[in-house]
Structure 1
Amino acid sequence: MHIVIMGCGRVGSSLARALERRSHEVSVIDVDVDSFRRLGPDFTGRTVKGVGFDKGVLIKAGISTADGFAAVSSGDNSNILAARVVREEFGIDNVVARIYDQGRAQVYEKLGIPTVATVRWAAGQVMTRLLPSEAEPVWLDPSGQVGLVQIPFHAGWIGTPLPALEERIGARIPFMFRVGRGICPDPEIILQDGDLIYVATDLPRVGSVKRLLAVAPAKH
């Protein structure tokens, strides 16, 4: 896959290196060419000076053939503007924007742009949004048998009570993010658009849970 990243700070550079380790093609955009040093001497992807909402800069970064775009610069406005340009002008749906102001998250989600709040595992969250099939556990028990994995879900699950979802996938959801806030869900909670759910399950079952959540639930 070809992924374009705007912002080469700690999150952007970490994300770029992680994607390249997985043999993906990566282009990184930043206004400060010195920031590209964070990528290290072994980085083989493309670096482009400029802002990620400039169409010419995006084209130089290969946006026309990109499979995904991550806006992870230090500015909320720049990230959202770039994400909207990529979606609306280049027709790319696989877009993620990092935000600092959690109060804006709901507004951005209504624009159809998935957002990732500024949390410790931000790079991992962006990776999960861009490449759901390659999501890694954010927590593992000492034996390495059970993990907590953030798994995206099909829009058809929206409106499902969490207990019903847990029953269908055969796993627990002890933690979730909603509008930039972490919560331990109660039995009354109903899945909403933009929620990030974390599934606790035996690692051999992660693949089957992903497949169940990747499609709309079967009608009973």
Structure 2
Amino acid sequence: MHYVIMGCGRVGASLAAELSDRGHSVAIIDQNPAAFSRLPDTFDGQQVTGVGFDREALEQAGIEQAAGFAAVSSGDNSNIIAARVVRETFGVSNVVARIYDPPRAAIYERFGVPTVPTVSWTTDQVLRRLIPLPAQVEMRSSAANLSVYSVQVGLPWLGRSVAELEDHLPLRVAFLVRGGEGVIPRDTTVIQKGDQVRVVASPDSINRIESVLAEGPKEQSE
């Protein structure tokens, strides 16, 4: 598949290299041609010098054949404008925009553009390693009314399987982070102390889910 990336900073270069290494066709756009020096020597994708929301630059990058578009430049306004142009002008539905200003993220979600609020995400990840926190949205799909949440799993659930968790609650465990490594769980995978748990659930059910995760499975039967 073909993917287009706007912004060849550290995130954009890393994303382009990862997609390319996975066998995908990649085009990356940046106004500064010197930015392409961040790409590894093994990168064989297309490098387009231009503005990421300019129609000519996008067409040169093959946006009309793209399966997805990521706007990860250093400018919030540029990212959201590019994401909207790609969605509304070229009909690419699979887009994501990197956002530095957290309050803007919710506004841009209303436009149907998934966002990654960089500062708040980093802050949250550090806090979650220091203190218990409520469920945090890591990715949202307004069309499907589903979100990926980072949740805290209480002591009553430690030693229980992923299947038990899913049987008691309206969620699916997407993945775990264990010892710094991502783990795609099986039904038999046991929740361990220190696991960072990511679940897919409806926003309407997350309060109940948090309560049961904190207090234990017996809460479900009440």
Aligned to 1:167: 169
* Amino acid of the structure 2 residue aligned with 1:112: G
Aligned to 1:203: 185
Structure 1: where are the runs of 5+ without partners? 123-149, 175-199, 214-220
Q: What SS does the aligned partner of 1:87 have?
A: helix
Aligned to 2:134: none
RMSD between aligned alpha carbons? 3.7
Which structure has the bigger radius of gyration? 2
Question: Judging changes above 3 Å, is the alpha-carbon distance between structure 1 residues 107 and 35 closer, same or farther for their aligned structure 2 residues?
Answer: same
Aligned to 1:118: 118
1:106, 1:37 → 2: CA distance? 34
Give per-residue Cα distances to partners, 1:140-188, cap 9 Å, x unaligned. Answer: xxxxxxxxxx7876844459xx9999723464999xxxxxxxxxxxxxx
1:45, 1:91 → 2: CA distance? 23
Instruction: Within 5 Å, give how 1:24-103 maps onto structure 2.
Output: 24-103=24-103
1:107, 1:165 → 2: CA distance? 35
* Amino acid of the structure 2 residue aligned with 1:204: R
Aligned to 1:138: none
* Amino acid of the structure 2 residue aligned with 1:85: V
Percent identity of equivalent pairs: 50
Question: Judging changes above 3 Å, is the alpha-carbon distance between structure 1 residues 30 and 155 closer, same or farther for their aligned structure 2 residues?
Answer: same
TM-score, structure 2 normalization: 0.60
Q: Is the 8 A contact 2:166 2:172 kept in 1?
A: no
Q: What SS does the aligned partner of 1:51 have?
A: coil
Report the Cα offset of residue 7 of structure 1. 0.1
1:54, 1:120 → 2: CA distance? 29
Structure 2: where are the runs of 5+ without partners? 123-137, 152-164, 177-181, 189-197, 202-222
* Amino acid of the structure 1 residue aligned with 2:67: D
1:114, 1:171 → 2: CA distance? 21
Q: Could you tell which deviates more after superposition, 164-173 or 103-112?
A: 164-173
TM-score, structure 1 normalization: 0.60
Report the Cα offset of residue 24 of structure 1. 0.9
Q: Which has the higher contact order (CA 8 A, sep 6+)?
A: 1
